Amino acid sequence: MAAMASSRKAFTDPQTGIKYETTNPEFQGWLTKQSSWLKEWRRRYFILKGSKLFFCKTESGAPHGMIDLAHCMTVKSAELKAQKRNALEVSTPDTTFLMYADSEKEKDDWIGAIGRAIVRCSSTYTNEDGMDDEERDSDEDDLLWRVAALALAAPGASGHQPAALACAGRAGLGAIAEAPLARVGRGQR
C-alpha cells in the first residue's frame, strides 16, 4: 500500500478523549466508504493499526473516524449488499460499515488484514497461552486454513463453494467471512 505520511496527526476519540497514534500502521490504503447518515460513497484513506481502523479524507490528513475492531463481529465480501464490485463490510454490534476497493485483490487484502486484526484482539487470542509470537502465528495460520478447508468441503446456501476467513469474536465465537472463489476454476462454481 502507499507510503505513510510521517506528519499525520493522531486521532483523538471524541467519546473518550484518548489519543491514538497512526504512525507505522500494519496496513493502509484507499477505500470508498458509505457515509453513515446520507449513505453517499466517499473515498477515504484507511489506516489499520492494532485493533483500530482509522479513516481520513486525505493520505496525509488527520483521521476523522475510527472503527474499533475489538468489537467487530465479521468482515466479509458484500457486493450484493453494497451493490458495488469489490465491496466488503465490517460489522460491529452497533453498525455495519460498507466499503469497496479498487480491485478484487485489494478487497481480499483488506479482508485478510482486518480479519487478522480481529483474531489478534479476540479473547481467545492472548499472551497468557505460553506461546511465543512465532508459535502463535503458526497456530493462527493453521486455524485459518482449517476453517477454510471445512468451508470448502461443503457448498454454501447459494450453491457456490465459499472461501472462509475465521474471525474469532470477543465471545470466542468463530464468525466466517464468505466470498465466492472467483480465482479457483474460473467459471466453475
Cell of 115: 480479519
Q: What is the pLDDT of residue 121?
A: 86
State pLDDT tens for residues 153-177: 333 333 433 333 433 333 333 333 3
Q: What's this model's pTM, rounded to 2 decimal places?
A: 0.67
Q: Write down the residue that cell numbers 451493490 correspond to.
A: 83
Reported confidence tier of residue 122, pLDDT bands at 50, 70, 90: confident
**Over the chain, what is the mean pLDDT?**
76
Element containing residue 52 per DSSP (H, E): strand 52-56
Percent of the chain residues topping a pLDDT of 70: 61
Show Cβ contacts of residue 94 under 8 Å, excluding neighbours closer than 6 positions.
Answer: 71
Q: What is the pLDDT of residue 95?
A: 94
State pLDDT tens for residues 22-58: 999 999 999 999 998 999 999 999 999 999 999 999 9
